[in-house]
Amino acid sequence: MHGQDRSVVHVIDDDEAVRESLEALLFASGFEVETYDSAEDFLARAPGHHGCLLIDVNMPGMSGLDLLQHLADQGRRTAAVVLTASPDGRLRRRARQLGAAAFLTKPATEADLLNAIADAEGGA
């Protein structure tokens, strides 16, 4: 993943520190990274996006799962990895039903995160 072949990861999280740390990790790992502080910000700035979404579940306004539902309702299949600070089996099942490749608990290890992104991109 170098030069023109860099995959894009869209980091959507309301926590600025989380966004910044994920951006640094992903950039160092060879990804192009775009960050958003809300699902609404993502929808406004990246309507025709490509690449993988890395989405927080609990955010003010539209949640990460609501964003996946919105994209699914539009018929858009999206590579996605869901992150949450509070794991819940019901949320995990809903994320999978909406097409998320992985459901990770914060803080996720670097290896788990990179593997989940690779799986999501391979399945999209």
pLDDT values of the chain reduced to their tens digit, one per residue, 124 residues: 333 456 899 999 999 999 999 999 999 999 999 999 999 999 999 878 889 999 999 999 999 999 999 999 998 888 999 999 887 889 999 999 999 999 999 889 999 999 999 999 886 5
Question: How many structural domains comprise the chain?
Answer: 1
Please tell me the pTM assigned to this model.
Answer: 0.91
Sheet holding 32-36, edge to edge: 32-36, 8-12, 52-56, 79-84, 102-105
The predicted-structure confidence for 17-51, as pLDDT tens digits, reads as follows 999 999 999 999 999 999 999 999 999 998 788 89
Domain with residue 66: its CATH number is 3.40.50.2300
Range of the domain at 15: 3-123
Q: Cα torsion for 108, 23, 55, 70, to the nearest 10°?
A: -170
